[in-house]
Chains A and B, each alone.
Chain A
Amino acid sequence: MSYSLAKVDQIIDGYGADKEALVQILLDIQHEFRWLSREILLHTADRLGLPMNQLYNVTTFYKHFSLVPQGRHAVSVCVGTACHVRGATQLLNRVSQGLKLSPDETSADEKFSLKTVSCLGCCALGPVMVVDGKYMSNPTANEITEIAEECE
């Protein structure tokens, strides 16, 4: 594994290896590596003196954590209420078809991860798709394919 446990240690030390900072530490690790490997979880449990069942409990409870590698490009479709009444279900279907991915899935080549989110705070654009931080209002099937092709 190429993950640098030294980086993980640095993050843990930044919080004084405080057990109570578990969620904050995991958020930073997730941000750094885009997912939480078993190796990293074991190491974190060891460093914080926490049992693994607590780490698995926390990492499968909060939606932001991923236990599998994430794609290089994050695609989110907002399914908040405002977007829902404006046709988010149909948009999600189009994105799903266009990327050939189900929600919460990552493509085999680790190019895309598709997620649904609840309200991004730009309801005027709804229904919204976000690709790597770029917002798009109700893209058509063709526009989705174009975006997918633009991504490396």
Chain B
Amino acid sequence: MMARLTSVSALEVLIKDILSRRDPQKTKVSVCSGTGCRAYDSEKVIDSLKAQLLHDGLNEKVEVVTTGCHGFCELGPVMVIYPDHTSYFKIKTEDVGDIISETLAQGKLVDRLLYVDQEGNVQAKEDDIPFYKYQNRVVFGNNQLIDPENIEDYLALDGYQALATCLGSLSPEEVLEIVKKANLRGRGGGGFPAGQKWEATRNAPGDVKYVIVNADEGDPGAYMDRSILEGNPHSVLEGMLIGAYAIGAHKGFIYIRQEYPLAVEHLNRAIEQMLELGLLGENILGTGFNFEISVHRGAGAFVSGESSALMSSIEGKVGEPRPKYIRTSISGVHGCPSDLNNVETWANVPVIINKGVDWFTSIGTEGSKGTKIFSLVGKVNNTGLVEVPMGMSLQDIIFKIGGGIPNGKKFKAVQTGGPSGGVIPEEMLDLPVDFDALDKVGSMMGSGGMIVMDEDTCMVDVAKYFLEFLADESCGKCVPCREGITQMLHILKMVCAGEGQPGDLELLEEVAAMTKDCSLCALGQSAPNPVLSSLRYFHAEYEAHVNEKCCPAHVCKDLITYHIDPAKCKGCGKCLRNCPVNAISGEKKEPHDIDLEKCTKCDTCFLVCPPKFRAVTKLSGNETLPVSDV
């Protein structure tokens, strides 16, 4: 139990004390235990590491820190050994012995755990690995230095210094001015300037005001906010307190998906520690500022991420958007002025206060300052979370950091902004990624999902996928969204099933335009984006589906058939044995054949055919097997 801090100087004394107890030269092993690495059994690695260190009597000499997400999920579990910054990847419990006996005891590297780039170069240090080298991890970088359940780790890295500065020596107006000057724009999607929102809430009539953290990260394929909350919850909480001070709020809500149990747990633990230290409650740090936080778990509704719907949810009601044309900064929770910002936005606030406006605005583009975290996923070699300065090109993010497309496939498109965003084709890979540039090409920044698609991805299928998601997630209140999505989805299903008709694409565009302009909330207004942007950049692919009943990417099941190329098939029998419906026949060492009547297009033969043969081929429309091979 730590003593309650009653002044700003008491916090400084505590931080000095923490630092004096820490030796920067001490060997420290940071192991990722974020959700991604946990799925790779990182917890077992940690347990084994701790047990063996204890057994070897090294537990005093070596400190093991269980951290949140480091970002490089592709190669998890991930480990960094300080002070040398040695990085190990894909660690199994069997590797722990060697890590201890070689690296921790003798300072030697365990080669098999090091990063090898595509050219075969070995990189031992984190900063030399391309995935990290081109990033600028302003918000996310501390994750790997912090045990999220230990507030001392956060305090040792200037934690709550920004809060102390604000409460101790800046007026609320001054804090507001800093955030406005920094031009911090909302990281949750819209990119609305946070400072303006704060100011509107501050100036709105009413004594009771609220600040809210939107941690209802619903974009399917994005997990930045989760990783910040899991790995560094105090950074968000500190930002929130600073915002509350500037706005004049004394109560805050954190709205977080219940699907993120680890984040909820770490958040609750962090709040307990803040209460213990007097960083929450009455008279924080003896400055007279009072603040309390209540955590609300969302029960699973994408639309609850919309600001007015989120506020209804906080009041215990269904998360339906409110119809009024009044901003929540004027009338939010209980009709009181409420400022809502997303997790990443809040986490930027302490950094801005600590490092200053000039430093912050030196990063990024004219209209978009600072960095943005993306979840770089899909058909990309280095899946993970990346934090880059605004304005970096898609090309650099996907190829330099992401390492390009796996299996020698060709890049086709990248989808940003989730169900509200759009697809961006190859021709636009030079696009600098910031709020305005993405808007201009018909996509949006969104919360930061970046899904890479290769030549095997069907854009019509992707549009259908997002509409299916939205049909399920729409609240169903207004006609344009509910009926518009229903019928657009119906048409896309027909198109993918080979039942498209002339005029379908025009009809899609017509309904999409109405849904965009007439829907009640942002979900409906942005719902047509995946359809409109793919129609814009991949029109020929839609036409192929409608006119030639052909799916060029060979994805739409109803439009493809499976064949075995007799010139390539060596009759190994693998497909024959694996076919669940016995549709394949053929003698051993003779080319096999698929009975199309029996084939259920389950894709199994395609997957099991050895890569050296690649004899199973999918055909669509008028395509035929190469003549010379038949």
Contact surface of A with B, Cβ cutoff 8 Å = 18-24, 26-27, 54, 57-58, 61-65, 79-87, 90, 93-94, 117-126, 128, 135, 141
Whether the pair A81, B299 counts as a contact (CB closer than 8 A) is no
User: Is A86 a contact of B379 with CB atoms below 8 Å?
Assistant: yes
Return the CB mask of B545-566 against A: 1 if under 8 Å, else 0.
0000000000000000000000
Q: 19 additional contacts, CB 8 Å, given A57-B318, A64-B258, A135-B38? A: A19-B316, A22-B316, A27-B258, A27-B297, A58-B318, A64-B299, A80-B220, A82-B221, A82-B383, A84-B220, A84-B462, A85-B453, A119-B219, A121-B34, A123-B221, A123-B223, A123-B375, A123-B377, A124-B73
B580: CB under 8 A from chain A? yes
CA distance in complex: A122, B301 (Å): 20
Instruction: Give the residue of A57, A61, A117 whose beta carbon is less than 8 angstroms from that of B259.
Output: A117
Q: Does B315 contact A (CB under 8 A)?
A: yes
Enumerate chain B residues within 8 angstroms of A85, measured Cβ to Cβ: 378-379, 451, 453, 457, 462
Question: Given A23-B296, A64-B299, are A124 and B384 neighbors across the interface (CB < 8 Å)?
Answer: yes
B144 adjacent to chain A (CB < 8 Å): no
Distance between B307 CB and nearest chain A CB, rounded to angstroms:
17
Please give, as numbers and ranges, the residues of chain B lying within 8 Å of A135 by CB-CB distance.
38-40
Neighbour of A121 across the interface among B40, B226, B301, CB < 8 A:
B226
Is B222 part of the contact surface with A, judged by Cβ < 8 Å? yes
Residues A81 and B580 in contact in the complex (CB < 8 Å), given A26-B299, A122-B73: no
Q: Which of A24, A87, A93, A119 contacts B222 (CB 8 A)?
A: A119
Min C-beta distance of B117 to chain A, whole Å? 17
Inter-chain CA distance A32–B449, complex, in Å, is: 33
Smallest CB gap from B465: residue in A: A84
Select which of B301, B320, B449 is within 8 A of A81 by beta carbon.
B449
What's the Cα separation between A19 and B314 when bound, in Å? Answer: 11
List A contacts of B223 (CB < 8 A). 119, 121, 123
* Cβ of B213 to closest chain A Cβ, rounded Å: 16
Instruction: Give A90's nearest chain B residue, CB to CB.
Output: B603
Measured between C-beta atoms, what is the minimum distance from A30 to chain B in Å?
8
Let me know if B319 is at the binding interface, CB within 8 A: yes
The verdict on B36 contacting chain A, using a C-beta distance below 8 Å, is yes
- Chain B residue with minimal CB distance to A31? B258
Q: Tell me, rounded to whole Å, the shortest Cβ–Cβ distance linking A81 to chain B.
A: 4
Docked complex: B428-466 residues within 8 A CB-CB of A: 449, 451, 453, 457, 462, 465-466
With a cutoff of 8 Å between Cβ atoms, the chain A residues found around residue B598 in the complex are none
B76 within 8 A of A: yes
Let me know if B377 and A61 touch, CB within 8 A.
no
Residues of B contacting A120 in the complex (Cβ-Cβ under 8 angstroms): 35, 39, 259
Distance in Å from the Cβ of B234 to the closest Cβ of chain A?
20
Distance between B93 CB and nearest chain A CB, rounded to angstroms: 16
Asked whether B469 lies within 8 Å of A118 as measured between CB atoms, the reply is yes
